[in-house]
Amino acid sequence: MLKLKIINNGFYIVILMAVLYFSITAKYFLSLENLFSMLHSLSPIVVISLGMALVILMGKIDISVGSIAFLSVTIGVLLITKYELNYYLAFLISMFIGMILGAINGFFIVILKINPLITTLGTMFTFRGVALQLTNASVINLPDSIRVIGNLSIGPVFIDTIIMFIFLYALHLIHLNTTFGRHVNAIGSKSIIANTLGINEDKITFLCFIASGFLASVGGILSLLQVGLLSGYLGQGLEFTAVAVVVVGGISLFGGRGKIIPGVLAGAFVFELVRNGLNHIGANPYAYKLITGVIIFVAMYADALKKDIKTN
Amino acid sequence: MNDFSKILELKNITKKFPGNLALKNTNFKAISGEIHALLGANGAGKSTLMNVLGGNIRMDDGEILINNSEINIKNPRDAALSKIAFVHQELSILPTMSVAENIFINKFPKRNAIFIDKKKIKEESKIILNKLGCNFSPGSTCEFLSTGEQQMVEIGRALAEDPDIIIFDEPTSSLTNNEKEKLFDVINNLKKENKVIIYISHFLDEVFRISDKLSIMRNGENVLTGYTNEFQVNDIIKAMLGSVKKIDKTKKNKSDKKVLLDVNNLNLENVLKNINFKIYEGEILGICGLLGSGRTELFRALIGLDKINSGKIKLNLSNEFFEIKPKKLHNYVGYVTEDRRNEGLWLNMSIIKNISISFLDIIANALGFINKKLELSYVNNSISNIDIKYTNENQNVDTLSGGNQQKVVFTRWIASDPLLFFLDEPTRGLDVNAKIDVLKISTEIVKNKKSVLIISSEYEDLIKICDRLLIMKRGEIINEISEKITEDKILMEISS
C-alpha cells in the first residue's frame, strides 16, 4: 500500500526536488513573482489537459486537441481581423467550433465505431490542415487591444490563471460529484461491466469528446492571447504535452484512476517548473526535451506499476 | 418491517436458443420468508430461468406474476422496479472505484439537480455494510478487497434498491469458509426480513443447510419441488440426472504405467495450494471442479504463464526424469486454450497459416523465408488425420464452424508434436457431432505415448474419455477418481 501511495504522489517528490535544485542554482527562481509567472504560463496547457483528462479517465484518448485549439482559434481570429466581429462574440464562436470539432470526433468514435486513437490521429492532421488553408499558413497579428487582455492581471495574479482555476475546480467537481463524472470513471474502470450495469457508454463518450474539444478551444484562446499573434504552430504538439501532464499527474492511461485536483495542476506544474528553471539557469534548450522525456518515461512506468499492485 | 407476503410465480416459461430449447413450459413458485434453492446439472436451465426473472434474457412465452398480478420484465431496470435483485455468480465490481460508489452506481442519491450527495452515500453504505457484517469502510477501493468482500459489496448493491425478491447465483464458489458463514448469516437475516430468496447452487450440503424448499431442473423443466427436509441426497441426484444412462465409452485400452510428468508441491499464492499429481504416458487425465477452483490457473502455472511460488516439476525425457522449469515445460506442451476465438486462433488468417505457425522453424530457410510448398504438404498431412470441413486451405478460419475451428487449433498443436496436451474446455460451445469428433481426436493423440490433461465442465465427456479424474476445489486437488468414473461420483465430489 505504501508503494502505491508513493507512486500516486510521485509528482510531489519531483516538484520538491526541482524546486530545491533550481532555488540553489538560479538566482531569481524562488520568488512569488516567478511563481505567478509560471502559473500564467501553464494556464493554457492546464485547460487543454482538463479535456484530455476527462477522455483518458474514460479509458480513451484524444490526440486532436492541439489541432482543435488551432482551428477554432483561427476561425475566431479571422472573424476579428477580416470581418471585424466583436472580440467576445468571435471567441464565443471559437468555443462553439471547438465543441463541433469534438462532436466530429465523437461521431467517428461512437457512430462509426472507429478506434479513438486512429480517429483523433486523422482529425489532428485534418483540422490543422483546414486551419492552415484558411490562413494560408501565414502569421496573423492581433490588434493591440486584444493583446493587452492576454496579460491582464489583478494584482500579481493573472486573469488567465483565475480562469484556469475556475475550469480546474469545475471539472474536479463534475468528475467527483456528479453521476456523469462517476459514470466516466466506471467506464474507464471496466467498460464491459459499466455497460452491463446499464451505463450509456456511447452517450458519455460523445459528451466527453465534445468537452475535450471545448476545453481545447478555450486553452487555445488563452494561448493565443498570451502570444499575441496567430502562427501556424499554435497548439502543435500540445496533445502530447497534455497526455504527459495527465499521466504525470497520476491519471492512469488505462482509465478509471486519478483525480483532477491535484493531478492536472501538479502534472502541468512539473513540466513548467522544469522549463522555467532550466531557463533561469540558462541551460541548453535540448536539456528540456531530455528531462521531460525522462519524466514522462518514469510516469508511464509508474502508471504500469499501479495496475499490477492491485492484484493482491 | 413489512408484514405482507409476496408470492412469486413463473408460469409456463418458454425460451428457445438457436439449436436448443432451454426452457420448456417451466413453472416455478417462491414465497416471502423462505429460502428456495434451485438445483440442476449444467445446462438444465436454472440460470436461464433466473435470468428471465432478472431481466437479462427475454422469454419467448409465459407469465411472471407477483401476488397474482402479472409483471412485464424486459430488462434489468424493469426487474429492479419490480423489486427483484440478482446477485450474479460473476462479480460486476468496478475495481478502481470505492465500495460506496459500487453500491450506488445504479442510482446515486442526489443533493440537488446536479451534484450527488456524498454524505448520504457514505452513511447509507455504512448501514448496508453493517447489515452485511462487513468491517471495511465505504471508502475502500474495491480492487484491494478479497473476492468474498467484493461479493458483499455486490450484495450491498442489490440491497441498496430495497428489493423484495433476491436471487443468488452460485454465491459460494469463490468464498473461504469464513466468508461463506458470513454469507449464510446475511441470507438468513434477509429471510427474517420476509424477502423472497432464491438460491442457485451445486453444493448439496449448503442446500440442505440453509434452504427451506428446493426445486430441481432438468432439461429445461422443473421436475421436482418440495420441502428440503423431506428429501434425501440420492433423490436429488436422481432427479438431476434422470435415469441412469449407459454411457458409450470411446476410450482406448489401458496404458503402460510409465510416469511422464510428476508435479510436486506446486504453490501459487492465493491461487493454487499444494498441488501433487502424476500423469502417465498415454493417459487421459481429467480435471474437474467449479468456477474458481483453479483448473485453468493450474495449466497456466505448469507452463510458466503465471509465476509459481514453489514446486518441482519432473518430466520424463528419453526414459530419464529431469527436473524442469515451467517455462521450459511449455516447449513440450500443446495448450488448447479455453477461449479459441480470442486466444486460440487468428480469425482473419487462413487455415494454413493458423496451423503452420507451430512448425515455421522447420519450413523456413536460414534467411527466414517460408517454403510454401513444404508448408502446404505438412499442413495437409496434419489435416488428413482430422476431419475438418473446409472448402479451401486458404480460407479464413472465421468462416469455419465452431467445431471445425476447434479442430484447426488441435491440428496446429498436433503438428508441433508435443509430449503433453493441455485441453481447457475443448468442447465448449460445440454441437453434438463436433464434440464427439474432438473427443475422438483426444483419444487418438494418446496412442503415441503422449498424454492429455483435460479440463471440462461437461461430465459426460470426461466420463467418455478419461482414465482418471482429479477433482479440484479452491486451488487444491481434493480427490481423485481412478476407477469407474460415473456422473454420480463426480457430482458427489463436487458438491462435497
DSSP B427-490: TTT--HHHHHHHHHHHHHHGGGT-EEEEE-S-HHHHHHH-SEEEEEETTEEEEEE-SS--HHHH
What is the structure's pLDDT at B247?
37
pTM of structure: 0.72
Amino acid at A248: V
What is the structure's pLDDT at B485?
81
> How many helices (H) and strands (E) are present in chain A, helices listed first?
14, 4
**Which residue among A177, A179, A197 places its CB closest to the CB of B92?**
A197
The residue among B468, B452, B146 whose CA lies nearest residue B299 is: B452
* Residues contacting residue B462 through CB under 8 Å, at least 6 positions apart: B286, B288, B454, B456, B469, B485, B490
Question: Residue holding cell 459489496?
Answer: B153
Q: Write out pLDDT tens, residues A147-162.
A: 777 778 888 888 889 9
**Which residue among A179, A193, A312 places its CB closest to the CB of B108?**
A179
What's the fold here for domain B7-241? Rossmann fold (3.40.50)
In chain B, the N- to C-terminal Cα span, in Å, equals 37
A vs B, Cβ pairs < 8 A, gives 54
Longest pairwise C-alpha distance within chain A? 63
Choose, out of B74, B78, B96, B309, the residue to mutate when testing the contact with A (most A CBs < 10 Å).
Answer: B96
Q: Is A194 on the interface with B (CB under 8 A)?
A: yes
What is the structure's pLDDT at A93?
96
Long-range (24+ apart) CB contacts under 8 A made by B65-71 are B65/B7, B65/B8, B65/B9, B65/B10, B65/B11, B66/B6, B66/B7, B66/B8, B66/B9, B66/B165, B67/B6, B67/B7, B68/B7, B68/B9
| Residue A119 within a domain | yes
The residue among B370, B376, B288, B296 whose CA lies nearest residue B339 is: B296
Regarding predicted confidence, which is higher, A233 or B198?
Answer: B198
pLDDT band, residue B1 (cuts 50/70/90): very low
Question: Residue holding cell 442446500?
Answer: B207
What is the structure's pLDDT at B250?
46
Kindly list the distances between the CA atom of residue A237 and the CA atoms of A128, A284, B239, in Å, as whole numbers in the listed order.
11, 20, 69
| Whole-number Å distance between alpha carbons of B42 and A235 | 59
Q: In terms of DSSP bridges, do strands B468-473 and B284-288 run parallel, antiparallel, or are they unpaired? A: parallel
Contact status, residue B145 vs residue B129, Cβ threshold 8 Å:
no
| Residue A203 within a domain | yes
Kindly list the distances between the CA atom of residue B368 and the CA atoms of B331, B353, B363, B364, B428, in Å, as whole numbers in the listed order.
21, 15, 9, 5, 37
What is the structure's pLDDT at B19?
55
Mean pLDDT lowest among A201-215, B39-53, B369-383: B369-383
Q: Write out pLDDT tens, residues B48-66.
A: 899 899 888 888 999 999 9
Cell numbers at B387, concatenated = 476431419
Average pLDDT estimate for B96-106: 94
Is B358 a residue whose pLDDT tops 80? no
The minimum CA-CA distance between A68 and chain B, rounded to whole Å, is: 28
A13: number of Cβ within 10 Å: 10
| Whole-number Å distance between alpha carbons of A122 and A132 | 16
What is the structure's pLDDT at B427?
83
Kindly list the distances between the CA atom of residue B496 and the CA atoms of A161, B31, B202, in Å, as whole numbers in the listed order.
67, 28, 9
| Whole-number Å distance between alpha carbons of A160 and A176 | 24
Q: Is A200 on the interface with B (CB under 8 A)?
A: no
The residue among A199, A208, A236 whose CA lies nearest residue A53 is: A208
Domains B7-241 and B259-495 equal at CATH topology level: yes
- Kindly report the CATH number assigned to the domain that includes residue A264: 1.10.3470
Longest pairwise C-alpha distance within chain B? 82
What is the structure's pLDDT at B248?
44
Give percent of chain B above pLDDT 70: 92
Cell numbers at B32, concatenated = 416471502
**Which residue among B108, B114, B143 places its CB closest to the CB of A182?**
B108
In chain A, the N- to C-terminal Cα span, in Å, equals 10
Give percent of chain B above pLDDT 90: 38
Chain A positions touching B270 (Cβ under 8 A) are 312
Q: Give B53's Cβ-side CA count (13 Å radius).
A: 33
| Residue A9 within a domain | no
| Whole-number Å distance between alpha carbons of B161 and B340 | 39
What is the structure's pLDDT at B55?
87
Q: Is B81 on the interface with A (CB under 8 A)?
A: no
Chain B positions touching A199 (Cβ under 8 A) are 105
| Whole-number Å distance between alpha carbons of B214 and A153 | 76
pLDDT band, residue A310 (cuts 50/70/90): low
Contact status, residue A90 vs residue A291, Cβ threshold 8 Å:
no
What is the structure's pLDDT at B385?
61
What is the structure's pLDDT at B21?
76
What is the structure's pLDDT at B343?
66
Chain B positions touching A193 (Cβ under 8 A) are 92-94
pLDDT band, residue B459 (cuts 50/70/90): confident
Regarding predicted confidence, which is higher, A126 or A302?
Answer: A126
| Residue A244 within a domain | yes
| Whole-number Å distance between alpha carbons of B235 and B216 | 10
Q: Give B297's Cβ-side CA count (13 Å radius).
A: 23
Is B436 a residue whose pLDDT tops 90? no
Chain B positions touching A190 (Cβ under 8 A) are 94-95
Regarding predicted confidence, which is higher, A256 or B381?
Answer: A256
Regarding predicted confidence, which is higher, B24 or B348?
Answer: B24
Regarding predicted confidence, which is higher, A116 or B239?
Answer: A116
Is B106 a residue whose pLDDT tops 80? yes
Residue numbers of the domain that contains A166:
37-306
- Cβ pair A188:B106 closer than 8 A: no
Kindly list the distances between the CA atom of residue B491 and the CA atoms of B40, B200, B427, B481, in Å, as whole numbers in the listed order.
11, 15, 20, 12
Give percent of chain A above pLDDT 70: 99
B476: number of Cβ within 10 Å: 16
Chain B positions touching A196 (Cβ under 8 A) are 92
Beta-strand runs (E) in B213-308: 213-218, 221-227, 259-268, 272-280, 284-288
Is B42 a residue whose pLDDT tops 70? no
The residue among A279, A292, A277, A265 whose CA lies nearest residue A30 is: A277
| Whole-number Å distance between alpha carbons of B422 and A19 | 57
A239: number of Cβ within 10 Å: 25
Chain A positions touching B95 (Cβ under 8 A) are 189-190, 256, 310
A160: number of Cβ within 10 Å: 27
Kindly list the distances between the CA atom of residue A17 and the CA atoms of A22, A133, A251, A280, A309, in Å, as whole numbers in the listed order.
9, 45, 21, 16, 26
Regarding predicted confidence, which is higher, A18 or A106?
Answer: A106
With 0-12 / 13-18 / 19 or more C-beta atoms within 10 angstroms meaning exposed / middle / buried, residue A31 is: exposed
| Residue A19 within a domain | no
What average pLDDT does chain A have?
A: 90
* Residues contacting residue B486 through CB under 8 Å, at least 6 positions apart: B463
* Phi-psi label, residue B133: left if phi above 0, alpha if psi -120 to 50, beta otherwise: left
Beta-strand runs (E) in chain A: 140-141, 153-154, 157-158, 229-230
Is B158 a residue whose pLDDT tops 70? yes
The residue among A34, A53, A25 whose CA lies nearest residue A273 is: A34
Q: What are the structural domain ranges in chain B?
A: 7-241, 259-495
Regarding predicted confidence, which is higher, B396 or A107?
Answer: A107
Give the best-scoring range by mean pLDDT among A97-106, A286-295, B334-343, B395-404.
A97-106
- My answer on whether omega of the bond before B95 falls inside 30° of 0, hence cis, is no
Regarding predicted confidence, which is higher, A4 or B235?
Answer: B235
3-class secondary structure, B406: helix
Give percent of chain A above pLDDT 90: 57
The residue among A117, A147, A127, A161 whose CA lies nearest residue A253 is: A117
Chain A positions touching B143 (Cβ under 8 A) are 310
Beta-strand runs (E) in B46-106: 61-66, 69-71, 84-87
Rg value, chain B, Cα: 25
What is the structure's pLDDT at B242?
65
H/E stretch holding B30: strand B20-31
Q: In terms of DSSP bridges, do strands B196-200 and B20-31 run parallel, antiparallel, or are they unpaired? A: unpaired
What is the structure's pLDDT at B119?
93
| Residue A26 within a domain | no
Is B27 a residue whose pLDDT tops 70? yes
Contact status, residue A57 vs residue A255, Cβ threshold 8 Å:
yes
Domain count, chain A: 1
What share of residues in chain A are helix, strand, coil (percent, to 5)?
75, 5, 20
Choose, out of A191, A197, A204, the residue to mutate when testing the contact with B (most B CBs < 10 Å).
Answer: A197
Amino acid at B190: L
Kindly list the distances between the CA atom of residue B303 and the CA atoms of B326, B360, B420, B456, in Å, as whole numbers in the listed order.
4, 21, 11, 19
What's the fold here for domain B259-495? Rossmann fold (3.40.50)
Contact status, residue A183 vs residue B94, Cβ threshold 8 Å:
no
| Residue A138 within a domain | yes
Choose, out of B90, B92, B106, B143, the residue to mutate when testing the contact with A (most A CBs < 10 Å).
Answer: B143
